[in-house]
Structure 1
């Protein structure tokens, strides 16, 4: 099953779900790390990639249809990687170049149109430059960037791997 398109896609969904569960249940609820606005956007991108994997697993298309789901997952992972990359860049800035802290995401959403909120969040602020935790020398956004790159590569690999498996089994 793990060599089929359905199985490989479901595995991608499980990995995305696991990443979200780790962020929400362990980091936020257990350790008490409150996500900054960029972290929230990364979670949305992770959920979108997971949804693309899940829909691919449920639909289990043939031929070129597999590439549709792969490209959707790739797009979500690429957007997530862009946000995570920007987050890592903000964290690498010297203290005197870090943007000032801004209002919370809830506050912005209550007073501004969504397009302005997205633009402000992607610019980042001092909340996003703070490094709360590291593991093996990488910050949480850096690990998220690594995960998004892995998901992007995996999304492209699924149709290729499932095609090779099908031709071997046929």
Structure 2
């Protein structure tokens, strides 16, 4: 059985399309299903955006395939680390869940930027709540799988020797 060979440029573009699709699902869940994102959800969206922009830049630039592959994989793995924190918070016993914090808008207006970033990356009690599942996995668990898949897809481009 032969694998279908596609150019690294098309592969990077497909990675970008996947990231745009993930952001669209997040927007759908927020604006249609009325699921308010917590600070860790917002951090994961920013990581998906950064990963997607990395894929787009690699597709447009079409040079330095290996450098882009590693850079994008690092972006995706950074997002995965945020997702791991989120999944961990969701599996804490109720008595160990941190207290809920203020909304992101309030934090941005009243807290120093460093404190806001720290809260966005560590999460609050809001982040421990599971609002939605699919096949028994929460949104952060699905996002973790997506980040790991994106990192793998990016690293595949490191060894993809097909024509540009």
Which category describes the TM-score, using the shorter chain as reference length?
over 0.9
Paired residues in the alignment total: 161
Gapped runs of 5+ residues in structure 2? none
User: Helix, strand or coil for the counterpart of 1:101?
Assistant: coil
Q: What is the CA distance between 1:72 and its match in structure 2?
A: 2.1
Superposition TM-score, scaled by structure 2 size = 0.93
Once residues 105 and 69 of structure 2 are traced to their aligned partners in structure 1, the CA distance between those partners, rounded to angstroms, is 33
Partner of 2:33 in structure 1? 31
Aligned 1:113-132 pairs, distance under 5 A? 113-132=112-131
Partner of 1:103 in structure 2? 102
Aligned 1:7-86 pairs, distance under 5 A? 7-24=10-27, 26-61=28-63, 65-86=64-85
Superposition TM-score, scaled by structure 1 size = 0.90
Once residues 120 and 22 of structure 1 are traced to their aligned partners in structure 2, the CA distance between those partners, rounded to angstroms, is 24
Partner of 1:152 in structure 2? 151
Q: What is the CA distance between 1:58 and its match in structure 2?
A: 0.3
Q: CA RMSD in A?
A: 1.6
Q: What is the CA distance between 1:87 and its match in structure 2?
A: 0.2
Q: Is the 8 A contact 1:71 1:156 kept in 2?
A: yes
Partner of 2:89 in structure 1? 90
Q: What is the CA distance between 1:121 and its match in structure 2?
A: 2.3
Greater shift in the superposed pair: 40-49 or 115-124 = 115-124
Q: What is the CA distance between 1:123 and its match in structure 2?
A: 2.2
Greater shift in the superposed pair: 122-131 or 38-47 = 122-131
Choose between structure 1 and 2: higher helix proportion.
Answer: 1
Once residues 48 and 71 of structure 1 are traced to their aligned partners in structure 2, the CA distance between those partners, rounded to angstroms, is 14
Q: What is the CA distance between 1:118 and its match in structure 2?
A: 1.3
Q: Is the 8 A contact 1:5 1:159 kept in 2?
A: no
Instruction: Select the structure with the greater relative contact order (CA < 8 A; seq sep ≥ 6).
Output: 2
Partner of 2:141 in structure 1? 142
Gapped runs of 5+ residues in structure 1? none
Q: What is the CA distance between 1:89 and its match in structure 2?
A: 0.1
